[in-house]
Chain A
């Protein structure tokens, strides 16, 4: 009985997704061919070249996809914990037995096979998370549930950071999307985004301006929330006038306040007094919104002052440089900004319809580094122009659309949670990867799904997608 159903399952597959998948893989193969084209090895099947190798990865991926479709869907649900555990084990093992490649220790070598467990982490985190969160009494709104989910994401993330694969670790934050879909308050992702923005602003601006911005926003929210508007306005005015008037008044007596303390110290002193006063009032009069707002402000202040430490101590010089390049502080196009600059030149020179297949001079002559892996999008942008780039982005958009449709139509929450995990990973990879080639996001070295050269990436995304297809087809 089950056997017969399994045979039928091939009919229920979402062929739209499979077609899009095959198209993207094919585009990838051709782009790699074009990016590393060598007239002496002009055959796309030549396995001494990357394009030939990619063909082998492609066949491998399809074999894997076929195997996945043969395995009963419930296996992933039943063994989700085991799969997650094996994944974590690999991440630990690689820390000890891994081979060091360009500064990071993330590759496992088993004879001829080289692979990167960190790249695979998306897969087992998606399955593990789906397994835990689809349990009957799991609620993300509960503290216990939240902490469980957070741990499932943060633990492998920490292990990957230890392997010095910061990019692949950051990818896992994409799973916040899954948590949000399952009922996590929208404040968590918003706070996250606010934190990132504040972090970047603190690098760009003098801290005093960032502090003023925070305070301004706090006053604004207070103004909206407070039943009486006037006291909020008066408080804001008093604060601003004291901040500016006192140093001016002191100057009349030829005392320069800012020769004794720095501007931000003066600001903090005043803000401290204000916060303390407001806190007392908040507790006396039981004003709820103030009780929330004040800690948030305190948090912002802490963040602003941690930036200096995080940026200079926690980040490595090349990571600092990448952020500075992104923010336009570092414009050294022959130094740290070289990759992004050359990549922008390649894509920008493509124009509307591109230079044509194999005619891309920027990528073909090695101006763009990592052109077949992380910067493969350059080749597409240069040779196929805006039209080609838009086509690729549209394909991703369509695929994401299909994935969400599949996720939403799952009867079992496992399928839905897993589906959103797949969507989140694909989106994050596409957004960051394409973004970094055009100077929109920092260069963190992650691949373009289905297109970039390399077995680990292609196989991981193939598995991610086909497990979802199998779940969908059998509608477990």
Chain B
């Protein structure tokens, strides 16, 4: 009849089939999204979690290893009525709680689908065995074994850090992690997460739409075994660490001991810190930890910034020598303090005048006010601001005002003033050396971390240089991840250190009545050099500070102790440091000093903090 009709129909058919072809072309060849979805759909990856790497102390004692933990899983689809009373008695939970837990699972039924979810977390070994005996009575419940951290000795938890399930923000920042993965937080666990975590493995199964496992995929050809985390040898000396923690009981503050010849940290204590029993199940104890007024999560050793007090006189003395505004024989007189116009910096009673060595030994405030003024009013420089900046450069070379680079997260820089800060505070030319006179005795705008003070002790021991303080000695399977301890030199010539070290030696080892400040720290037979500090605290008792190293020649240990609200440096901090040194060098406390050990243990300063 009419050809037009035929052609139109053929055209219509062709257009229709071309539409299909075009869409197929797009779907199968252009769009990649569906390919990925198909894999996710059908392959079920059963994750095999690796065990975390072990953490050893420097002599091979275990600080952290792993143990098996048992989680009770529930599979709602397989649930059948069961003996709830029996269930409650096994796991020691109340009936109401069980009903609530089941209701909660029931509410999530849709999203759980055919999967299993954790119902009771980390049951005890005993509960686990009881459950196994009766498991036939509880259809829909099963056990999942998981490895969790175990701490053979209860050391300061802040050093190690804790393990938690990765939260949402962490997962967003670290796409290689999946929900349900565990991660190390704070301390060594966080810093060495990559080393310790190992690699997850998986077994691949094919599954159908109901999530039923059909068969292992390709007979396990693509399965991946898990790789355990790498073990780590730390620089910590476990007996010394435990001894230090014993001494610090009932005190708030921190202790750092390091080997000045390497920068290896032997002991790092923050008190009061986290108990290891909180580490294993951090989530459960979280609210308790957070509400503790003594802030156990706060690692004082690296996160607190206090004025260093008289300890800082060592630095000023060295700068004065290097700048040649004083020499070892320079004497300044002190009449119960330093007076300039209306300003007075008080001092304690001691023989006057003093030379440099005596000033360190007796910790004379007036001497250092004179030293600082000589440094800042040095005619070599155009103005105070310039000499101030020169002073700042010196102090910085001692590691103050910067992060030293210890291999755990959270280290503070402390604060170090320069002319910029004072220009801001007082206006340009609105300040002079007298304005900043508190810096002479380690007060005022300066803030240091206890770690920086320990580092100062190491610098004194080394007569002018230090190694980056670090906590990991060796990762036997991974040399690349090891921290590198670089040698750093201060801007002060090593020969200037001798008179200052001599002062530190005399401060500890002078006879009674000489005015030495740290005689309590003296250890018969060991040449200990030390410097006390008392940092003013507007909120309560002064903080007690002590830095020291020993022996005087070829030093093996440098220590800083900072005890908050401990009063005079000599009274609280010095004994702790001294006992620690003796323990490290001789392995014991000699009978003549047992009284000091006992006195230190008895000191209970917590009440000062809990008011």
List the interface of chain A (C-beta within 8 A of B): 177, 180-183, 186, 342, 344-352, 361-362, 365-367, 381, 385-386, 389-390, 393, 396-397, 400-401, 404, 408, 420, 423, 427, 430-431, 434-435, 438-440
Contacts and interface: CB of A to CB of B under 8 A. Distances in A.
A430 B10 CA distance: 15
Contact of B28 (A389, A401, A427): A389
A248 to B, nearest CB: 44
Contacts of B43: 361
B41 interface: yes
Contacts of A440: 19-20, 23
A346 B38 contact: yes
Given A397-B13, A400-B13, A427-B13, A362 B24 contact: no
A375 B35 CA distance: 18
Contacts of A385: 28
B154 interface: no
A431 B17 contact: yes
A367 B41 contact: yes
A344 B38 CA distance: 10
Nearest 10 pairs of A and B residues by beta carbon: A348-B34, A349-B38, A365-B208, A361-B42, A386-B28, A348-B27, A366-B209, A181-B5, A345-B34, A431-B16
Contact of A348 (B21, B28, B209, B214): B28
A352 B27 CA distance: 10
A367 B209 contact: yes
Contacts of B10: 401, 404
Contacts of A408: 6
Contacts of B137: none
B8 A186 contact: yes
Contacts of B33: 348
Contacts of A393: 17, 20-21, 24
15 contacts: A177-B12, A182-B5, A183-B5, A344-B34, A348-B27, A348-B33, A348-B35, A349-B35, A361-B43, A365-B214, A366-B209, A393-B17, A427-B16, A430-B20, A440-B19
A439 B33 CA distance: 15
A362 B38 contact: yes
Given A181-B1, A431-B17, 15 more contacts: A177-B12, A180-B9, A345-B41, A346-B38, A348-B27, A348-B35, A351-B29, A351-B35, A361-B206, A367-B41, A389-B24, A397-B13, A420-B9, A430-B17, A439-B23
Interface string B193-237: 000000000000011111000100000000000000000000000
Interface of B: 1-2, 5-6, 8-10, 12-14, 16-17, 19-21, 23-25, 27-29, 31, 33-35, 37-39, 41-43, 206-210, 214
B184 to A, nearest CB: 36
Contacts of A180: 5, 8-9
Contacts of A352: 28-29
A342 to B, nearest CB: 8
A390 B42 contact: no
Given A362-B41, A365-B42, A367-B41, A348 B31 contact: yes
B34 A423 contact: no
A41 B39 CA distance: 26
Contacts of A439: 23
A278 B38 CA distance: 59
B38 A348 contact: yes
A143 to B, nearest CB: 20
A349 B24 contact: no
Contact of A438 (B16, B27, B39, B206): B27
B466 to A, nearest CB: 61
Given A365-B42, A404-B10, A381 B20 contact: no
Contacts of B16: 427, 431
Contacts of B21: 390, 393
Contacts of B206: 361, 365
Q: Name the residue among B6, B9, B12, B208 with the largest chain A CB count within 10 angstroms.
A: B9
A187 to B, nearest CB: 13
A347 B30 CA distance: 12
A184 B455 CA distance: 99
A349 B37 contact: yes
Contacts of B25: 386
Given A180-B9, A183-B1, A427-B16, A438 B34 contact: no
B13 A365 contact: no
A181 B9 contact: yes
Nearest to B15: A431
A405 B5 CA distance: 14
Nearest to A427: B13
Given A365-B206, A365-B207, A365-B209, A435 B20 contact: yes
B208 A367 contact: yes
A381 B28 contact: yes
B41 A386 contact: no
A386 B17 contact: no
A177 B9 CA distance: 7
A241 B6 CA distance: 46
A423 B13 contact: yes
Given A348-B33, A361-B206, A362-B38, A396 B6 contact: no
Contacts of B23: 435, 438-440
A181 B35 contact: no
A183 B24 contact: no
Contacts of B37: 345, 348-349
B465 to A, nearest CB: 64
Nearest to A180: B5
Nearest to B210: A366
Nearest to A389: B24
A476 B5 CA distance: 23
B43 to A, nearest CB: 8
Contacts of A365: 42, 206-209, 214
A390 B29 CA distance: 12
Nearest to A189: B12
A141 B29 CA distance: 47
Contacts of A427: 13, 16
A142 to B, nearest CB: 15
Q: Which interface residue of B34, B42, B206, B214 has the most chain A CB atoms within 10 A? A: B34
Nearest to B33: A348
A381 B209 CA distance: 19
Contacts of A345: 34, 37-38, 41
A308 to B, nearest CB: 29
B17 A396 contact: yes
A180 B41 CA distance: 46
B133 to A, nearest CB: 37
Contacts of A366: 208-210
B24 A347 contact: yes
Nearest to B19: A440
Nearest to A397: B17
Contacts of A390: 21, 24
Contacts of A362: 38, 41-42
Contacts of B28: 347-348, 350-352, 381, 385-386, 389
A430 B12 CA distance: 13
Given A365-B42, A386-B28, A182 B17 contact: no
A434 B20 contact: yes
A424 B34 CA distance: 32
A342 B28 CA distance: 14
A420 B1 CA distance: 13
Contacts of B27: 344, 347-348, 438
B24 A404 contact: no
A365 B5 CA distance: 46
Nearest to A434: B20
Nearest to B37: A345
A385 B35 CA distance: 12
A434 B206 CA distance: 28
B25 to A, nearest CB: 7
Nearest to A426: B13
Chain B CB within 10 Å — which of A401, A423, A438, A439 has the most? A438
A361 B8 CA distance: 41
A71 B171 CA distance: 73
